[in-house]
């Protein structure tokens, strides 16, 4: 069993991001900017309703594909010191179909699981008119949440596996599942810790930036300069977070994969 040291992984991540920020941050920004563009073009829906379908849906899909490509490229850079940004992006584009297919497989699996759980729990506990009862909804959440956490931990390494090893979508999923077999609880703890830290940092940065921007340019209303500045602050924060988290995942993979991390 390969040992896993999160302290070592973080130290390697911090050192690498500091040393190679000039390579990593532009690629991380590539993952973030399309999402910012989507926020600018998605129509404002009436309260309580979803936006009307339109071309913005295609932009959302494009943003997801670009983000996936950028994350694979960052993993490649973190696992192959000396790789150029162009080489990393080219490699990421070649591996994108396999990664996308793996993501679709996982999404279908989660969807079918939720449907089955919902049928088993929500229908028998439905209230008048077939409305889901609060108890049934709570039970679905209590069952689904631990499953999502566990499967998320076992598939935590799909991005670096895609970047470092050959194989199609099922091979990617099997490899991540195998590498994390003895470290699921450690990775679950890491995922929870990261979510909490991200919430705290995002809240703190958003609060401080919101106050300063409001004082300088007024309240951030839709289409205003203040709103644009808030988007840019969020993009800057997400760029740094993407660079660190994707590199951290790659360094965890490097520990668990050992010699296999030198794959393709």
Tokens 């679905």 found at:
140
CB 163 within 8 A of CB 92: yes
Please report which confidence band the pLDDT of residue 215 belongs to, taking 50, 70 and 90 as the band edges.
Answer: confident
Cα(34)–Cα(242) distance, integer angstroms? 14
The per-residue pLDDT for 36 is 80
Q: Is the pLDDT of residue 240 over 70?
A: yes
Nearest to 187 by CA among 176, 201, 198: 176
CB 44 within 8 A of CB 103: no
- Give Cα 196 distance to the centre of its chain: 15
Please report which confidence band the pLDDT of residue 263 belongs to, taking 50, 70 and 90 as the band edges.
Answer: very low
CA distances from 220 to 47, 201, 209, 217, 228 (A): 18, 20, 11, 8, 8
Residue range 187-210, pLDDT digits in tens = 999 999 999 999 999 999 989 988
Helices (H), the chain: 6-19, 21-41, 56-79, 85-121, 134-154, 158-164, 169-179, 184-217, 225-257
Nearest to 152 by CA among 175, 115, 177, 118: 177
Cα(153)–Cα(147) distance, integer angstroms? 10
Mean pLDDT of the region 45-52: 69
Cα(63)–Cα(32) distance, integer angstroms? 8
The mean pLDDT value of the chain amounts to: 87
Query: Between 242 and 58, whose confidence is greater?
Result: 242
Q: Residue 183 burial by CB count (10 A; 0-12/13-18/19+): exposed, middle or buried?
A: buried
The per-residue pLDDT for 42 is 74
Residue range 88-147, pLDDT digits in tens = 999 999 999 999 999 999 999 988 888 887 777 766 666 666 666 677 677 777 888 888
The per-residue pLDDT for 48 is 63
The per-residue pLDDT for 34 is 83
What phi and psi values does residue 233 have, to the nearest 5 degrees?
-65, -45
**The whole model's pTM is what?**
0.89
Burial 29-54 (b: 16+ CB within 10 A, else e): bbbbbbbbbbeeeeeeeeeeeeeeee
Cα(145)–Cα(50) distance, integer angstroms? 25
The per-residue pLDDT for 238 is 92
Q: At what angle do helices 21-41 and 225-257 cross, to 10 degrees?
A: 130
């Amino acid at each position: 069993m390969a040992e896993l040291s999160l302290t070592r992984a973080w130290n390697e991540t911090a050192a690498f991001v500091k040393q190679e920020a000039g390579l990593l941050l532009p690629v991380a920004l590539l993952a973030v900017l399309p999402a910012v563009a989507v926020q600018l073009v998605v129509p404002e829906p009436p309260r309580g309703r979803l936006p009307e379908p339109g071309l913005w849906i295609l932009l959302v899909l494009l943003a997801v594909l670009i983000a996936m490509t950028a994350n694979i490229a960052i993993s490649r850079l973190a696992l192959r010191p000396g790789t150029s940004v162009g080489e990393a992006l080219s490699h990421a584009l070649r591996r994108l179909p396999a990664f996308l297919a793996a993501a679709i497989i996982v999404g279908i699996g989660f969807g079918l699981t939720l449907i089955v759980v919902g049928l088993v729990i929500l229908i028998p506990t439905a209230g008048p008119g077939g409305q889901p009862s609060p108890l049934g909804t709570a039970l679905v959440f209590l069952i689904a949440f631990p499953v999502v956490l566990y499967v998320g931990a076992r598939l935590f390494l799909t991005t670096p596996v895609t970047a470092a090893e050959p194989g199609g979508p099922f091979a990617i999923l099997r490899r991540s599942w195998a590498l994390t077999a003895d470290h699921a609880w450690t990775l679950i703890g890491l995922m929870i810790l990261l979510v909490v830290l991200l919430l705290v940092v995002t809240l703190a940065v958003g609060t401080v930036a919101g106050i300063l921007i409001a004082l300088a340019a007024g309240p951030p209303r839709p289409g205003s300069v203040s709103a644009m500045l808030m988007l840019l602050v969020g993009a800057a924060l997400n760029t740094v977070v993407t660079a660190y988290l994707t590199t951290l995942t790659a360094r965890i993979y490097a520990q668990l994969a050992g010699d296999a991390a030198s794959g393709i």
